[in-house]
Amino acid sequence: MNTLYATRGSGNSLKPFLTMKQLDIPFRLVFVDVINGETRREKYLAINPAGTVPYMVTSDGRRLGESNAIAWYLAEETRLAPGTCYDRAQALQWLFFEQGNLEPFISPARFFISIVPHRRAERAEEIARWQARACQGLGILDGYLRGRDFITDSGYSVADIGVFGYTHVAAGAEIDLGQYPAVQRWMQRVTETSGFVSLSDMNDHASILLADDGIQAHAS
């Protein structure tokens, strides 16, 4: 069975979680405590030297990091894989866009505003910059999604899952998604797809803690 290392509340962790739930792929979930620095300690670094979640160890022991790469691997040859060569390239375009123009700004702004608000003041200037950059990215996404149902013409796919991961929690970064009506309509469509599960479903899912995980360290 696949093992997914994840963190509660993480938009990146939601991506492989949602993919496996929608595809009925069984997995075990191990929660790593980012706030207490567990991702940067020896036990987790021996699993994922990059010290980030999500991370996956497949049923046959292979290892994979980066949320969009994990989701892509899981979606290959399933109904969540875009159907044509062009649609696959377009999916990759928007997954890279998400990692370059959305996630690096929404995620830290949300972290300091909503997850560790006592540390907000110390990052006030950066937060303003992150919000501005996130809004630029959301504006581009909104323009693209006008008149479209999903990211590619193949319908709902791994590309939507990847872009949804942090876009849907932008309010936690005090970004008003009301400015992006096409993004809002698209997010609603994503939540209506068959078997959709949310961040709170992930937070409440049966899991074990990293401290109780008996995996053998093997960096790759």
Ligand X SMILES: N[C@@H](CCC(=O)N[C@@H](CS)C(=O)NCC(=O)O)C(=O)O
User: Nearest distance from residue 175's CB to ligand X, in Å?
Assistant: 17
For 206, other C-beta atoms within 10 Å of its C-beta total 6
Write out the H or E segment, with its range, that includes residue 2.
strand 2-6
- For residues 48 to 77, the per-residue mask of contacts with ligand X, x marking binding by CB under 6 A and - elsewhere, is ---xxxx-----------xxx---------
Q: Which stretch binds ligand X (CB under 6 A): 5-13, 134-142, 146-154, 174-182?
A: 5-13
Number of residues that bind ligand X (CB under 6 A): 15
Site for ligand X contains 101 (CB under 6 A): no
Measure the CA–CA gap between 220 and 208, rounded to whole angstroms: 23
User: Nearest distance from residue 48's CB to ligand X, in Å?
Assistant: 9
The DSSP code for 210 is G
SS3 content of the chain, % helix, strand, coil (to 5): 55, 10, 35
Site for ligand X contains 99 (CB under 6 A): yes
Residue type, 160: D
Q: Do 12 and 107 meet the contact criterion of CB atoms below 8 Å apart?
A: yes
Site for ligand X contains 19 (CB under 6 A): no
User: Nearest distance from residue 84's CB to ligand X, in Å?
Assistant: 25
Measured in whole angstroms, the distance separating CA 60 from the mean position of its chain's CA atoms is: 23
User: Nearest distance from residue 107's CB to ligand X, in Å?
Assistant: 6
Site for ligand X contains 199 (CB under 6 A): no
Write the CB contacts of 9 (distance below 8 Å, at least 6 apart in sequence): 115, 199, 203
Instruction: Report which of 47, 149, 163 is spatially closest to residue 102, judged by C-alpha positions.
Output: 163
User: Nearest distance from residue 72's CB to ligand X, in Å?
Assistant: 11
Q: Which stretch binds ligand X (CB under 6 A): 6-14, 114-122, 129-137, 202-210?
A: 6-14
Site for ligand X contains 39 (CB under 6 A): yes
Give me the residues that bind ligand X (CB under 6 A), please.
7, 10, 12, 34, 39-40, 51-54, 66-68, 99, 107
